Structure 1
Amino acid sequence: MKSFEVNFDGLVGPTHNYGGLSFGNVASQSNSQQASNPKEAALQGLEKMKALMDMGFVQGVLAPQERPDVAALRSLGFGGTDAQVIQKAAKDAMPLLVASCSASSMWVANAATVSPSADTADGRVHFTAANLNCKFHRSIEHPTTSRVLGAMFADPQYFAHHAALPAVAQFGDEGAANHTRFCRDYGEAGVEFFVYGRSAFDSRYPAPQKYPARQTLEASQAVARLHGLSEAGVVFAQQNPAVIDQGVFHNDVIAVGNGELLFHHEDAFLNTDQVLAELHGKLQARGAQFQSICVPRDQVAVEDAVRSYLFNSQLLSRADGSMLLIVPEECRSNPRVWQYLQSLTACGGPVREVKVFDLKQSMQNGGGPACLRLRVALKETELAAVNPGVIMTPALYGTLTRWVSKHYRDALRESDLADPQLLLECRTALDELTQILKLGAVYPFQIN
C-alpha cells in the first residue's frame, strides 16, 4: 500500500497584520506596526501550495480562524454588541484588540502534533491540538483548530483527536514546530523526535535567560502518551538554550527533518552527539539508515539562520529518492546562506535541489515555509478518508484565488482593526470558505 506525506498549508486569514505580538520572534517584533497586505499574503501562500501540487506532491489546505475573536474580548470584560465590543477594546485596550485580530493560525506547524498510524498503539492517525499558551493571541486558537481538524479528518476508524493539554506553563505545547518524524517509508513504523526548550518540574535542565522556552519536556511526553507511542519509537531532545536567546523560538527555526535525514545547525541541540546516536540506534532497529547534515556555525551563524529562516524550510522526498529543499527568498538574499546552499546541492548528498519562494508577507511576521504547513503521513486508505474538499486541485486553487481576491483587503494597519466592518468581512468570507472546503459549521459565529 502506498503512503504519502501530505502538507496541509495554512490559508492566511483576512486580518493578517503586523502586531509584533510574539516576544522572542525577531521578525515579528522588528516589523511591528508596518502595514500588511492580507490579499498578497494569502495569494503567496496559495502559490506555494499550487507549486508543490504541480510538482506531484499531495497538498492540502487548512482554513484560517475567525478574527477578531469577539468571544475572547467578551471574556476580558468588553460588553455590548459585537461592534461595541470592538470599539470599546480599541478605545481602552488596543493591544488586546490587536491580539484578538491576529492571523497567526496561518502557521499551522503550531496547530497540532500528528502521529501516523504506523507509530500508534491503536493503528490510527492521532492529532493533539497545541495549547500555545505562551502567547495570548495564540492560546485562543485551539478550540477552532480542533473543530477544523475534526472536520478534515472525521472518520473515527482512521483518525483520533485529542483536546489540547492543560493551558498552564508546565504543559506549554507548540505543536509540530517542535516535532519531527523519521522513517524509511511513511507507511512504516518510524521514530518521532520531540524537541523541548525546558523542563517544567526538573531544575537540573538549563533554561534560556532572555526569551521564553515555549515547549516543555512534560508537554512532549504527554503528547507521546496520548498518541500511544512506544519507547522504542520516540526520542526527546533539549534545544540549546543559547539559541533560544538568539531568536530560535521553535526547533523548526534551527532544524528540519524528513525520511531518514535530519538537517540541523551545529548549535541546535544540547548533547548533540548523544541525541544523534539515539536517533541512529532507534531508526536502525526499525530498518532505517539515519543521516544527519550538520551546518557549521563558521559557515552559517545562528543570526544568519534566524534572519534567513534557512531551517524553516520544507524538506521533501522525491520519487527518485533525492530531497528537495523549499526555502524563502530571504535565503537567496543572504550571501553566506546562499553560498552554503549552493555547496549543499553540489556535494552529491541527499539534498539535490533548492527551490526559492517569495513569502515576504509571512516572513515579515516571523513564519517561513515550514511554519505554513502541517505534515500528515497517510496511507492510501487514510488519504481516501480525508475530507476531499481540503485537498488541493487545479480547480480548488482557482476557486480559492478568486475567493481571496473577492474578500481580502490590499492593506491593513492597526487603526483598521477598530473597524467593525472588518469582522463582518471576515465572517462573510469564512462562511463561504466552509462551503468551498466542505467543512460544515466550524466557526463560533456559525455555531452560536
Structure 2
Amino acid sequence: MANAIEANFDGLVGPTHNYSGLSFGNVASQNNSTRPSNPKAAAKQGLFKMKALADMGFIQGVLAPHERPHMPTLKALGFYGSDAQMLAQAAKQAPKVLAAVSSASCMWTANAATVSPSADTYDQRVHFTPANLVNKFHRAIEHPTTGAILRATFADEHYFVHHDALPSVDHFGDEGAANHTRFCSAYGAAGVELFVYGMSAFDQRQPRPERYPARHTLEASQAIARRHGLDPKRCVFVQQNPAAIDAGVFHNDVIAVGNGNVHFYHEQAFIDNTQMRDALRAAWGQQDSRLHFIEVPQSAVSLENCVQSYLFNSQLLSQPNGDMVLVVPSECYENESVWQYLTDLQARNTPIKDIKVFDLKQSMSNGGGPACLRLRVALTSNELNAVNPATLMDDALFQLLNEWVDRHYRDRLVEADLADPLLLRESREALDELTQILQLGSLYDFQKA
C-alpha cells in the first residue's frame, strides 16, 4: 500500500459571479435571483477558506475559473458581429441566455469531475471524468474547459488519465463528485466508491421526484465505474430519496458527506438507508476496521434546516491522528437546531472531533457551501509531486491571488451588467494574467484566437 493523502482543489470564483436564478431545484439559487452579488468578496471568501485549510496542514489546490461571458456559445446560438454587438443582441433578445453564458458556476468544483485514485483503478493511475452537467444549460457548457484545466493541473500521463465527458444526453446525466464518495481505511489503500443517483434513465419502474429534476442517472455512474476500471465488488450504487430532491436536495452532497471510514448523512438522504449501509459494509469487507455511520434524525434536524444551513455540504477532513474535522458554513452556526446538533455531536464518541466555521455567504446565496467548492483527489507522494506546483496553495500564492482579485474584480454585479463589454474585457484580462500565475498555458478560447 502506497503512502497517500487527500488533496482538495477549490474552484476560484470568477469575475462574473452573479445571482440570476438559473438553477431550478436549487432553493438558494432561486430565492436570491435578482439580488446584487459581490464577486470580489466571493473570491476572497473562497481564498480565505483555502488558505486556512492549508495552514491546518491539508494539501490545498486551486482550479481556475472559466471564460465568462462565453462568447463562442453566443456565436453558436446565432448571435453575430463584434463581441459588443453579440452582447447587446443577447441582452435584448435572450437575456437569460446571456445570464447562462455568464454564470460563474464552475466555482463549484465538486461538479467538475468524478475522480478515482490509483489505489482503486485497474492501471493504478488517477482517473478523471469531467461531468457533462447536461441538466442545466449554463453548466452543460463547462466540461470542455474543465477538462483542459484538469489536464493542465494533472498533466503527467504516467500518473493521470483524463477521459472526455459522458454523452451529453439526459440518459447519462452526470453531476460529478457531488454524487460520489470514496471510503477507505487509508488513502493509499483500495477503497469503496459510493455512487449516488437520482433516477434510472432506462428503468421507468424506479421512483422519481415529482417537483424538481433528478439530475444524475444510475447509467452515468455505471459508465464512469467501467471507464475508470474499478472493481465491481468495491462499487456501490444507491438511489437518492426522491422526496429529498423535491425538498431542494439537488445533489447528494447537500444531504450526505463521507470520508475515510465515516459516513455522515441525514435520515432522509437515501431511498433505503438500510440497503445503503448493508451494501457499503459488504463492499468494505475489512475485519481490522469498521465503517462509522452517523445518521442525523429528522427529529433533530429537519430536511428544511438541512437545505437552509447546508449542514451536509461540509468538508470532512482527516487529521494525521485519525480524528476528523467538519468544515461548515456560518449558516450552520446561525441555525439553532443545526448548531445544537453539532455541539452534541462533538461530545459523542465519533471520529468527528472538531467543527470549523467559515463565512461563504456569497457562494451560499447561489446554493453552494464548502463541499461544493472543492474537488477531492487522493494522491500518492509521487502523484502529488507530479501536480502542477503553481496551483498549490501557500503564503505566496495566497498573496498573489488576493492582489490579483483586488486588481480585476468588481464589488457589485447585477444581471444587467452582464451585457457590459467592459466586463468581458476585464474578465479576459484577469484570466490571461491568472494563467500565467498558475502556469496553465493558453486555456481559453480568447487566448487562442
TM over 0.5: yes
Equivalent-residue separation in structure 2 for 1:196 and 1:166 (angstroms): 17
Equivalent-residue separation in structure 2 for 1:431 and 1:307 (angstroms): 37
- Displacement of 1:286 in angstroms is 8.1
- Displacement of 1:417 in angstroms is 0.7
Q: Which residue of 1 aligns with 2:40?
A: 39
1:205 equivalent to 2:206? Answer: yes
* Higher mean displacement: 277-286 or 156-165: 277-286
Equivalent-residue separation in structure 2 for 1:189 and 1:287 (angstroms): 14
Equivalent-residue separation in structure 2 for 1:427 and 1:223 (angstroms): 34
- Displacement of 1:285 in angstroms is 4.0
- Displacement of 1:348 in angstroms is 2.6
Equivalent-residue separation in structure 1 for 2:54 and 2:262 (angstroms): 23
Q: Which residue of 1 aligns with 2:52?
A: 51
Equivalent-residue separation in structure 2 for 1:426 and 1:8 (angstroms): 22
Q: Which residue of 2 aligns with 1:365?
A: 366
Gaps of 5+ in 2: none
Equivalent-residue separation in structure 1 for 2:295 and 2:445 (angstroms): 45
Does the 8 A contact of 1:284 with 1:290 survive in 2? Answer: no
Equivalent-residue separation in structure 2 for 1:286 and 1:173 (angstroms): 34
Equivalent-residue separation in structure 2 for 1:364 and 1:70 (angstroms): 26
Equivalent-residue separation in structure 2 for 1:232 and 1:395 (angstroms): 44
Once the two structures are aligned, what percentage of the paired residues are identical?
Answer: 64
Q: Deviations over 1:123-156 (max 9, x none)?
A: 1000000000000000000000000000000111
In the TM superposition, 1:7-406 aligns within 5 A as 7-285=8-286, 288-406=289-407
- Displacement of 1:284 in angstroms is 2.2
Equivalent-residue separation in structure 2 for 1:298 and 1:347 (angstroms): 18
Equivalent-residue separation in structure 2 for 1:282 and 1:437 (angstroms): 39
- Displacement of 1:51 in angstroms is 0.2
- Displacement of 1:288 in angstroms is 4.3
Does the 8 A contact of 1:190 with 1:286 survive in 2? Answer: no
- Displacement of 1:9 in angstroms is 0.4
Q: Deviations over 1:199-228 (max 9, x none)?
A: 000112110000000000000000101100
Gaps of 5+ in 1: none
Q: Which residue of 1 aligns with 2:424?
A: 423
Q: How many residues get paired?
A: 448
The SS at the match of 2:89 is: helix
Residue type matched to 1:289 in 2? R
Equivalent-residue separation in structure 1 for 2:286 and 2:171 (angstroms): 33
- Displacement of 1:287 in angstroms is 5.4
Equivalent-residue separation in structure 1 for 2:415 and 2:48 (angstroms): 27
Q: Which residue of 2 aligns with 1:444?
A: 445
The SS at the match of 1:96 is: helix
TM-score with structure 1 length normalisation?
0.99
The SS at the match of 1:320 is: coil
RMSD of aligned residue pairs (Cα, Å): 0.8
Residue type matched to 2:95 in 1? M
Residue type matched to 2:221 in 1? S
Equivalent-residue separation in structure 1 for 2:338 and 2:136 (angstroms): 30
